[in-house]
Chain A
Amino acid sequence: MLDLKQNYFGLFGLPLAYPIDGADLAQRYRDLQRQVHPDRFAAGDERERRLAMQGAARVNEAFETLKDPMLRARYLLSLLGVEMDVTGETTHDTAFLMEQLELREELEGARHTADPYGVTARLMEHIDRGIKALVARMSEQFQDASPERLEQARENVRKMQFLKKLRYDVELVEAEFDEAE
């Protein structure tokens, strides 16, 4: 039986490193679920089914965390002894914050433009580029893993939180456009 107590990286048979190959991760996920999923134990007794449910839930949680670059970074930081305050900390990088404000203004104005979907698509591209750049930087920082570099990674996680929130809001606005169509 699978050792569910190990950390998410260990559970997926991966080294404690930040870069991850998405397709490989998805394949590992499917293989793990084949072992633990409750459907495998539907004819089993109460205890087996209970364990299967907990196991599958743990594997799902691990997959959610590992596949998301922001959640993965935060999780890896905590394994390396850097606990982030999920709600309470934010970046103080003024240039970054100014840029975020501008992007938000653009989103607010999208509905009044001739091509609102064009605006949101451009914003999405911008966000994805930003996240990719942060992932590249963090990969180096995690590889070095000195206290200073991890502190820089932490700052990048804070920035990524902004970008993720913005992406979520762009999706909400797009959903509003859909409804209005």
Chain B
Amino acid sequence: MALLQIAEPGQSAAPHQHKLAAGIDLGTTNSLVATVRSGMAITLPDGAGRHLLPSVVRYAAEGIVVGDEAKSAAVDDPLNTVQSVKRLMGRGVADLKTLGTTLPYDIDGSEAVPRIRTRRGEVTPVEVSAEILKALAKRASETLGGELTGVVITVPAYFDDAQRQATKDAAKLAGLHVFRLLNEPTAAAVAYGLDQGAEGIHAVYDLGGGTFDISILRLHRGVFEVMSTGGDSALGGDDFDRVLAQWIMAQAGLGDDIDPVMQRRLTRLATGIKEQLSSDESAEIHLELPNGHWRGSIDRETFNQLIDPLIAKTLAACRRALRDAGVTAEEIEDVVMVGGSTRVPRVRERVGELFKTEPRVDIDPDRVVAIGAAIQADVLAGNKPDAEMLLLDVISLSLGMETMGGLVERIVPRNTTIPVARAQAFTTFKDGQTALALHVVQGERDLVSDCRSLARFELRGIPPMVAGAARIRVTFEVDADGLLNVTALEETSGVKTGVVVKPSYGLSDSEVERMLRDSIAHAEDDMAARRLREEQVEAERVVEALRAALAQDGEQLLDAGERAGIEQALKHLIETAAGENHLAIKRAREALEKVCEPYVERRMNASVRQAMAGHKLDEFEEK
């Protein structure tokens, strides 16, 4: 029996009550949008039948292009074509060096948030992601025939607060209402669990293009309880490509100083070979170089050796997640494979060894996350008031505060079920101290410098007291999206301060709002420009047709007065069409059409007469 009956006869909401909602898998390499239609969760294709939207945005001279078209331009126009932007979400300029990949973009590092220089100006990763979200939301609302009331967007479980906040900002910028940020492995578990009616303890191994997540969940009558989660938010199939590209470079005798175009070409070549090695035992390599060709080959064994250290990293995270969940590998019923990189045979082999079970690949690993998100979106939109389903997720990274000596005081340990509120008391350490600096960090290490700095804020106005007398209560609240809100209160005086944690390298609310205003303004600009162009084209068409007609029969069918009236209206339209007021052009065209009405009528009569001339009536009647 299904764990949850998706469509219950007689209980499904009437179509007009059904709120349009979608699940979005905003991936490093590809993105998808899915929705629940007639009780079935499905991913939505574009007009050409493609479900996957490459997460590539090109800032072309003629406009912003998202998806396959952008992807095919990536090699020729690398500086204006942004790929794998998910890797930059919520990251500071200083973090970019540690990402392990050299970015083929021109990055403005003068501010905390990296800005990519394109021919259409500087863009932040949040803005790039917003373009992908807009494209997906447009696809959904066009397919479903209405505006979306809300969406569920998936994020890697291992995303920290800054990365989650950046994702939410991107959605805001795209004009979307976010019901929930959902962890990708949890989404996959929903899709899989509901499909298979699974119960018991399960593992979800999610290796995408740029992120890795492992989650251990307990499924019990529609409740999905995440027991532990782990991973690496900067490890994925892109890294397989990178080590393979480096291997090819070494074999072909290329140095590190290759240009961005060459770099893109190599990456693309490596991706193709990796994919080929998933089915073939070996692959030929053919590389075009400025000074000729290089040919080589690689067998699967060599490729396996290259990626083994990367897979080993994922397995270490799996063992830690098992330990955190307090279960052994033997207790895991099934391990579900998610993400395109789990197509690599070596990955399946090693994961199978660790969990001592054949990994499950029943649902397309590319689509399973979007499908789970769609199911959750449908429930959150209120379309299934009787739904049994409930997701109890956890925070994947510990939250803490800096204390004396640069040490971290852990306040919310990792794998705590969210939402959660925790308070901790701090005090002053100097006599008469009136302010206290608070530094919020995220991570598992004991030293502040080894953790991720989320925010710094200051509690001011503490009444002067002897050292240790003040009682400052700091409350951490993590909501169901995994987002943190911190408030501090000096309890003896009631001085309060609060921050929604906005990392120093994130975007401030006002920045997001400015971008939002700009994008709305641009959208208006874009629309006005399109209308103008449409009217100009229409005016040209009318002018041309009229001139041709006048040349043909203007003399016979019009008297001098009529002719002068038409000529005047025609002149007015030509002049107006040279301007930029689309409404004025429209009015001028309509005025011309009005003046021409008697002429058009006469022309039609004349042509009918001409057509019938010389024919007998019965010839027509026979038809």
Binding site for B on A (CB under 8 A): 30, 33-34, 37-39, 42-43, 53-54, 56-58, 60-61, 63-64, 171, 174-175, 178-179, 181
Contact A34 B390 (CB under 8 A): yes
Contact B390 A171 (CB under 8 A): no
The 8 A CB mask of B412-425 against A (1 = contact, 0 = none) is 00001111111000
Identify which of B320, B323, B390 contacts A39 (C-beta below 8 A).
Answer: B390
Binding-face segment, B196-204, B239-247, B374-382, B590-598: B374-382
Q: Which residue of B lies closest to A37 (CB)?
A: B390
Q: Which residue of A lies closest to B376 (CB)?
A: A39
Contact A61 B316 (CB under 8 A): no
Q: Report the minimum CB–CB distance from B484 to chain A (whole Å).
A: 12
Q: Report the minimum CB–CB distance from B377 to chain A (whole Å).
A: 9
- Answer whether A178 and B381 are a contact pair too, CB < 8 Å, given A30-B390, A33-B390, A39-B391: no
Contact A57 B323 (CB under 8 A): no
Contact B477 A57 (CB under 8 A): yes
Identify which of A34, A38, A43, A178 contacts B479 (C-beta below 8 A).
Answer: A38
Binding site for A on B (CB under 8 A): 19, 149-150, 179-180, 220-221, 223, 225, 316, 319-320, 323, 376, 379-382, 390-392, 416-422, 477, 479-480
- Point out the residues of chain A lying under 8 angstroms from B150, CB to CB: 42-43
Q: Report the minimum CB–CB distance from B329 to chain A (whole Å).
A: 12
- Count of chain A to chain B residue pairs whose CB atoms are closer than 8 Å in the complex: 71
Task: Jot down 14 A-B pairs with beta carbons below 8 A, ordered by A.
Answer: A30-B220, A30-B225, A30-B390, A33-B390, A38-B480, A39-B379, A39-B390, A39-B391, A43-B19, A43-B382, A53-B477, A56-B419, A60-B420, A175-B323
- Point out the residues of chain B lying under 8 angstroms from A58, CB to CB: 421
- Answer whether A64 and B416 are a contact pair too, CB < 8 Å, given A43-B380, A179-B316: yes
Among A43, A171, A174, residue most surrounded by chain B Cβ atoms (within 10 Å): A43
Q: How far is the CA of A60 from the CA of B225 in the complex (A)?
A: 12
- Point out the residues of chain B lying under 8 angstroms from A38, CB to CB: 419, 479-480
Q: Report the minimum CB–CB distance from B180 to chain A (whole Å).
A: 7
Q: How far is the CA of A43 from the CA of B380 in the complex (A)?
A: 7
- Point out the residues of chain B lying under 8 angstroms from A57, CB to CB: 419-421, 477
Contact A171 B417 (CB under 8 A): no
Q: Which residue of A lies closest to B19 (CB)?
A: A43
Q: Report the minimum CB–CB distance from A75 to chain B (whole Å).
A: 15
- Point out the residues of chain A lying under 8 angstroms from B19, CB to CB: 43
Contact B421 A61 (CB under 8 A): yes
Q: Report the minimum CB–CB distance from A77 to chain B (whole Å).
A: 20
- Point out the residues of chain A lying under 8 angstroms from B391, CB to CB: 39
- Point out the residues of chain A lying under 8 angstroms from B477, CB to CB: 53, 57
Contact A181 B419 (CB under 8 A): no
18 additional contacts (CB under 8 A) given A33-B392, A42-B180: A30-B225, A30-B390, A34-B390, A37-B480, A38-B419, A39-B180, A42-B179, A43-B150, A43-B179, A43-B381, A43-B382, A53-B419, A57-B420, A58-B421, A61-B421, A175-B319, A178-B319, A178-B323
Q: How far is the CA of A175 from the CA of B323 in the complex (A)?
A: 8
Q: Report the minimum CB–CB distance from B452 to chain A (whole Å).
A: 20
Among B179, B221, B382, B419, residue most surrounded by chain A Cβ atoms (within 10 Å): B419
- Point out the residues of chain B lying under 8 angstroms from A37, CB to CB: 390, 392, 480
- Point out the residues of chain B lying under 8 angstroms from A171, CB to CB: 323
Q: How far is the CA of A33 from the CA of B389 in the complex (A)?
A: 11
